[in-house]
Structure 1
Amino acid sequence: MQSGTQFTQGLRLAMDDGPAWTVEAVRQVRYHVVGSDHLFSTHNTDLLDGCPEAPLRAGERRLVVIDENVEKLHGARIREYFAFHDVRITVLVLRADETVKQWDAVSRVVDAMNDFGIDRRREPVIAIGGGVLTDVVGFAASLYRRGTPYIRIPTTLIGLVDAGVGVKTGVNYSSGKNRLGTYAPAKVTFLDRSFLRSLDLRHISNGLAEILKMALIRSEDLFTLLETHGPAVRADRFQGSTGTLARAADAIFADSIHLMLEELQPNLWESALERCVDYGHTFSPTIEMHALPELLHGEAVVIDMALTTALGTLRGDVSQEEAGRIFAVIRALGLPLWSDVLEDRGLLEEALRDTVRHRDGQQRLPLPVGIGRHRFVNDVEPAELEAATRVLRQAHEAVRHLPAGTLVGA
């Protein structure tokens, strides 16, 4: 073979200094996000037909992994659905919350797949539960035989608008939030808001935190929707009990997911590290892990957003009036402004150091610019964090006597 470089369909051979090969390949990624209320109504066929790559037919079988709380509330209805459509299911009931989002949970799912004898080409695992459950199942599926397809049916608001629409999976390791994980899109995610009827309001608020994130960095219109209709939509659990509530819930739900997918789609593997959807996720992983089980994920995220809003006011990027509106909406959505873990003066510095390691040596910290815009900075100093913490504490003290869900100034 002659010396030099040859190219054949992405394969390059260089002979100048001995043989060496470079392989280049592209793998297309395609997944579906499908809205389908009352998914487990026996006459709803979306689950049967909604995954073109693996349609579900009578006589087939599936492994179903279900959150233990969902099992208690909806297990009988889910089993009735599969029986009605003559699909044989094997069910693994799994406890799934942040305190047990560890390798042991992944191992249980892998054991279930192995015992089931899953055909990884045409028998996708079905995961039914909140974001923790779908993360665990997605991670296990991505590992089993180097990739087994799975279907997500999130049952919490945070699962519907955040954890269920991206491609990341993960579990916690040691004190690290989602320290173990993969990029593994589900074949299809079904979004069924009827599950939200059985959630307590705290978990509705938990999901609203991720919706508020998209509003603060991308859309003043979405923020105004939350400001105007958010408390009532929260109280109604996104069920659309009246025409006004239905229109508001539909708009908040669809806009937040569309904005999220717009940001995720060009950068699914996070090769670009300046990601505006990291807003609220700079300090929150450390805050959340230190506060477990006190804080839910969205609650930690919103404290991060409140802190960086305070940081934005100190930098002149967010006006006092805008900050007041943001803090008022946070409270009106039943979310906290403060956690006592912030009293640990070194905690935020530790969180920022960990984020810098995660973001290739730079802070790449998204900060709000007004409401609905953002910019990235790399120069946040410990003294600035202390000052922002003092501003946030003052805001918290001003409203702490008000019950969560109260619109400040209303």
Structure 2
Amino acid sequence: MSYPTDREICDNSYKLKEFQLVQRNGTWNRESAGFCHSGRLSSAKIYESSTANGRCWTVLSPIVFTYKIIQCENLLDADNDTLLFGHIDNCEELKSSGNPIKRFIVIDEAVHKLYGDKITEYLKARNVIYKMLPLPTTEENKSMELVTKILEEVHKFGIDRRSEPILAIGGGVCLDIVGLAASLYRRRTPYIRVPTTLLAYVDASVGAKNGVNFANCKNKIGGYIPPVAAFLDRSFLETVPRRHISNGLAEMLKMAMMKHKGLFELLEREGRNLLDSKFQTRGETDRADQAHAASASTRIAIETMLEELAPNLWEDDLDRLVDFGHLISPELEMKVLPALLHGEAVNIDMSLMVYLACERGLLAPEERSRVIRCMQSLELPVWHQDCSLELVKKALSERLKHSGGLVRMPLPTALGQAEIFNDTDDDTLCLAFQKWCTELGAGHLPK
């Protein structure tokens, strides 16, 4: 192919050229766009232009991530292939190859005590070569130290980074830490999420984000590399403490308030039963509507979350409805760590924002009361003594710094509807905060 001459550049007659990339016999070459080309055509393009100082190349390289979120049952039954092959579309050839299966597993310590023996039995029954690494994956330990520990153990064990995904089994913190480690090992190693808490089931396992805390800031270090798959088995929730079920319900309530009135009404009506039953259905003795509530509520929570995440996986668009409950909560959660669980901090944030929405005239007082009653029925905190007006303003100020100079505040405009706002004035915020403290904090203003 021909390239522009120096004279063309000097005459400034060469402005911009678009090139396609075509592969023939294993070699990629750029060729002028707009022509039919034999060979393998890439979706990437190169644009070349000239400046007074030389040439400029702009690369357009679309990156596509494909990952599966699979609801399943009996994940640890020896005859269930999902844990080993569920991430592969056509696995028959791999299953019949006779090659040994190898897996590195990171598991939360508490989950290991409950399920370690059963996981071991499963792996041995399937003749899997494995290494299981139990770790204390709590919010206090969510750091690069654990990431490095995982990387060191993965390196010792040795895996094929294309065909032997790392398994993460645990709550949201475990999934976040393992996701970051996998994204760093050999620049990107596939991994699979197996959530064992409700919050991880409906939230952490669904998107692409991973990360760890740094400099006393929540998830300050992280990235956007999704797993190849997430396997969701509700039976794990049976051993989760009641408080952690409530914790996960906060994220479900978030999606209900932002996007789905039907989900809100379902949680309003059946939320307490879901909390009591831990989303389990125990055969014919259970009410049919309770079984439906467990299935429908988790499905809707996941679907509405995916609707928001899939078009904006890397958060190029900073206007995100899923940030509802996440404007104040990171600051509050880190300040009182480990007193509040993530969903509890999120709910306190949402509670204040509901008061703010009402103060702005976006929600009717009756709607605000319904939301607060629903939160309380789910045994979620709606106020906290350490959530001071100073902390709220600091958190919003930090948000301005990292959100392009706009606060981008998601607020409900009705039950199941929301918009992003950038025009909340200080006086309205203060009035809403005072009413929030008076009505929900027994009149005590946080210090």
TM superposition score normalised by structure 1 = 0.94
| Correspondence 1:275-286 to 2 at 5 A | 275-286=320-331
Decide whether aligned partners of structure 1 residues 120 and 53 sit closer, same or farther in structure 2, where only a CA change above 3 A counts: farther
Corresponding residue for residue 353 of structure 1: 397
Is structure 2 residue 346 aligned with structure 1 residue 305?
no
Shift of 1:382: 3.6
- What is the aligned counterpart of 2:305 among 233, 252, 260? 260
Match of 1:61 among 95, 102, 110: 102
CA contact (8 A) 1:54 1:123 kept: no
Q: Summarize deviations over 1:186-227 as a string: whole Å, max 9, x none.
A: 000000100000011100000000000000010111000000
In 2, Cα distance between equivalents of 1:382 and 1:41:
56
Alignment of 1:388-403 (within 5 A): 388-397=432-441
Aligned AA for 2:105?
V
Question: Out of 235, 260, 269, which is 2:314 matched to?
Answer: 269
Output the CA distance in 1 between the equivalents of 2:232 and 2:191: 15
The SS at the match of 1:340 is: coil
The 5 A counterparts of 1:358-397 are: 358-397=402-441
Q: Give 1:163 shift.
A: 0.4
Gaps of 5+ in 2: 9-13, 21-44
Cα deviations by residue, 1:165-205 (Å, 9 ceiling, x for unpaired): 00000111112110101000000000010000001110000
1:146 corresponds to: 187
The 1:84–1:399 alpha-carbon spacing in structure 2 relative to 1, beyond 3 Å, is farther
Q: Which moved more, 1:1-10 or 1:344-353?
A: 1-10
SS in 2 for 1:341: coil
Contact kept, 8 Å, 1:282 with 1:304, in 2: the verdict is yes
Match of 1:405 in 2: none
* Aligned residues of 1:337 and 1:392 also touching (Cα < 8 A): no
- The one-letter code of the counterpart of 1:25 is S
Give the equivalent residue in structure 1 for 2:333. 288
Which residue, 212, 229, 233 being the options, matches 1:171? 212
**1:16 Cα deviation (Å)?**
5.1
Match of 1:237 among 278, 281, 290: 278
Post-superposition offset of 1:72: 0.2
What SS does the aligned partner of 1:52 have? coil
Give 1:162's match in structure 2, choosing from 198, 203, 207: 203
- In structure 2, what is the equivalent of residue 8 of structure 1? 19
Q: State the one-letter code of the partner of 2:262.
A: D
Does the aligned pair in 2 maintain the 1:54–1:122 contact within 8 Å?
no
* CA drift at 1:398: 6.4
Query: 2:34 — aligned with what?
Result: none
Alignment partners' CA distance in 2, 1:118 and 1:137: 15
Alignment of 1:91-170 (within 5 A): 91-170=132-211
Equivalent residue, structure 2, for 1:19: 55
* C-alpha contact 1:42 1:81 (8 A) present in aligned 2: yes
Q: Distance in 2 between matches of 1:87 and 1:227?
A: 45
Change (3 A) 1:399 1:238: farther
Q: Which has the higher contact order (CA 8 A, sep 6+)?
A: 1
CA shift, 1:279, in A, is 0.6
Distance 1:15 1:377 in 2: 41
The structure in which a higher percent of residues are strand is 2
Give the corresponding residue for 1:39.
75
| Partner Cα separation in structure 2 for residue 176 and residue 382 of structure 1 | 25
CA drift of 1:129 comes to 0.4
Structure 2 SS opposite 1:231: helix
- 2:120 matched residue in structure 1: 79
Q: CA deviation at 1:378?
A: 1.2
Q: Report which stretch shifted further, 3-12 or 150-159.
A: 3-12
1:397, 1:341 → 2: CA distance?
Answer: 11
Which range is displaced more, 195-204 or 57-66?
57-66
Q: Secondary structure at the match of 1:21?
A: strand
> Contact conserved, 2:389 with 2:433, CA < 8 A, in 1?
no
Deviation at 1:394, TM superposition (A): 2.9
Q: 1:267 to 1:172 in 2, by over 3 A?
A: same
User: Secondary structure of the residue that 1:78 maps to in structure 2?
Assistant: helix
AA paired with 2:327? T
Any stretches of 5+ residues in structure 1 without a counterpart? Answer: 401-410
The CA distance in 2 between the partners of 1:357 and 1:38, in whole Å, is 46
Q: Residues of 2 paired with 1:15 and 1:390: CA distance? A: 59
Letter of the structure 1 residue corresponding to residue 46 of structure 2 = L
Contact 2:327 2:396 in 1 (8 A): yes
- Indicate the RMSD between aligned Cα atoms, in angstroms: 1.7
2:108–2:170 contact (8 Å) kept in structure 1: yes
Letter in 2 for 1:218: K
Task: Provide the C-alpha distance between the structure 2 equivalents of 1:399 and 1:197, rounded to a whole number of angstroms.
Answer: 38
